[in-house]
Amino acid sequence: MNAPATLEINGTVIDATFAEAFPMKATRLVITAHTLTWAMHAANSLTGFATSVIGCGCEAGVERTLAPGETPDGRPGVAVLLFAVSSKELAKQIGRRVGQCVLTCPSTAVFGGIDPATSRAPLSDLAPLGSGLRFFGDGWQISKMIGNTRYWRVPVMDGEFVCEDTAATVKAVGGGNLLLLARDQDAALAAAEAAVAAMRRLPNVIMPFPGGIVRSGSKVGSRYAGASASTNDAFCPSLIGLSARSELSAEVGCVLEIVIDGLTDADVGAAMTAGIAAAAGLGRAAGMLRISAGNYGGKLGPYHFHLHALAAGVEGGRV
């Protein structure tokens, strides 16, 4: 069997491997407020402590800001995406986070952001939104039907909290990823920041870790009982020559990972392609040595994003 051809972009080697992603459930919420500043305060609070389903219950992030003409109530807004491993867990996270982080925030309202009529992602369920939060009104809340949609108006101290009754959820994809292998931390951060910036220009995806980047990449399992995940020693520069699993050469001084969640596999693939183009665009001369990805031999999830296929159309690529 012939070895896979080497693919390079600006001297950056693209590994012949794939990122392995898995099914999730997701929703989009639209948070509006009197000003964009207050909508963003609520969005940042709602998406806090939501980097990984391993310990946070969900993965969430800001998708984009919205102009008044793009929101249901004609005010500035922010679209956020939330992902969880099940419909039940997603509904729980929506209720807790909206109740604690949006209901509490001055001037805000919240609406479901998935339109069943136009969604490319397969619909899953309807998660409670205002139908649960309305009880905070202690009997003073009232409902309003506009077309086929029910809204709740809950009295609060700055006026009313308006909330859509339910939020549509969809079947989604989590765990797309890129591993950026660089000469040093400066080069790795520059490449990762460029990649995240490129991905954030695309719809339907989030990068849930701080700044979109994670340094503590993990593998499944541990030598310690009860730990489901542990450090990915194959990509730890300090373990070169010590770990038999190491996949690094001596010139690699820093590895950073970007995890991507998307409403469809096409969304994740498009984001990964944009990230590859941005990171490799800096090139080997800037210290961006290799781009790889994490997988578990195809045993974790059914979505396999092969880096060579994604990078094939990136300008400057050569075999």
Q: What pLDDT does 317 receive?
A: 58
Q: Are residues 141 and 46 in the same domain?
A: yes
Last residue of a domain, one of 122, 145, 170: 170
Is 12 in the same domain as 58? no
Binned at pLDDT 50, 70 and 90, residue 4 comes out as low
Is there a domain that residue 99 lies in? yes
Identify whether residues 70 and 160 lie together within a single domain.
yes
Long-range contacts for 234-238 (Cβ within 8 Å, ≥24 apart)?
Answer: 235/179, 235/181, 235/292
258-300 pLDDT, tens digit each: 999 999 999 999 999 999 999 999 999 999 999 999 988 887 8
Confidence of residue 226 (pLDDT cuts 50, 70, 90): confident
Residues 14 and 107 in one domain: no
Tell whether 2 is covered by a domain: no
pLDDT higher than 90, residue 1:
no
Q: Does 264 fall in a domain? A: yes
**Quick check: 5 pLDDT over 80?**
no
- Give domain status of residue 1, yes or no: no
Total-model pTM: 0.94
What is the per-residue pLDDT across 8-62, written as a single tens digit (0 to 9) for each?
999 999 999 999 999 999 999 999 999 999 999 999 999 999 999 989 999 999 9
Whether residue 232 is found in the same domain as residue 155: no
- The beta strand positions in the chain, using DSSP E, are 7-9, 12-14, 18-32, 59-66, 77-84, 109-112, 123-128, 142-146, 149-156, 159-164, 166-182, 205-206, 218-220, 229-231, 254-262, 288-292, 303-306, 317-318
Shared-domain flag, residues 143 and 13: no
- 13 with 39, same domain: the answer is no
Are residues 307 and 176 part of one domain?
A: yes
Domain count of the fold of the chain: 2
pLDDT of 227: 86
Does the pLDDT of residue 3 top 70, yes or no? no
Range of the domain at 91: 25-170
Same domain, 228 and 159: no
Which of 170, 204, 233 corresponds to the end of one domain? Answer: 170
Q: What is the CATH number of the domain that holds 303?
A: 3.30.70.520
Q: Which residue has the higher pLDDT, 266 or 316?
A: 266
Q: pLDDT exceeding 90 applies to what percent of the chain?
A: 88
* pLDDT (tens digit per residue) in 176-218: 999 999 999 999 999 999 999 999 999 999 999 999 999 999 8
Q: What is the pLDDT of residues 112-168, one digit of tens each?
A: 999 988 899 999 999 999 999 999 999 999 999 999 999 999 999 999 999 999 999
Among 170, 185, 211, where does a domain finish? 170
